[in-house]
Amino acid sequence: MSESAMESIVNEKKHQRGGRKGEGKMRAGHWPEMEQLLYSEYQKRRDERKAVRRAWLKKVTMKSFLAAYPDQDVSSFVFSNGWFTGFLARHNISIRMATNKSQKIPSDYIDICVKSAQFNRRDSQIRP
């Protein structure tokens, strides 16, 4: 590294440095045509209000790869964790899960409550 480059790095303020490779920009993917097709399929699925899971993305990724690169061998693309997290970051996607699904109250909920109270009453009695 030259002295002028070293001086410019040393003289920068503490939080101005940023990344050296892309200066804070996300690196483009290795398969841009496939990623564009995959992202458009993702948007269609979300517009239909359907869930998007990792398995669905993997299946559609392989279809998108074959559509975008018909002359390439499928084994040249690997659906790795690194590629997957990079794809999600490049397109600002977060995979979410429903945490609390509401449930219907059973039609016989009063009978269930009464039976539960009767059981507790019987069970809490002291027996000889």
Neighbouring residues of 24: CB distance < 8 A, sequence distance ≥ 6 = 18
Q: Evaluate whether residue 89 is within a structural domain.
A: yes
Does the pTM exceed 0.85? Answer: no
Number of domains in the chain: 1
Q: Evaluate whether residue 84 is within a structural domain.
A: yes
* Residues 79/63, Cβ–Cβ less than 8 Å: no
pLDDT tens for 71-127 read 988 888 899 999 999 999 999 999 887 776 667 777 888 898 999 999 988 888 887
* Residues 53/84, Cβ–Cβ less than 8 Å: no
Q: Evaluate whether residue 59 is within a structural domain.
A: yes
The domain in which residue 61 lies consists of 28-97
DSSP state of 98: -
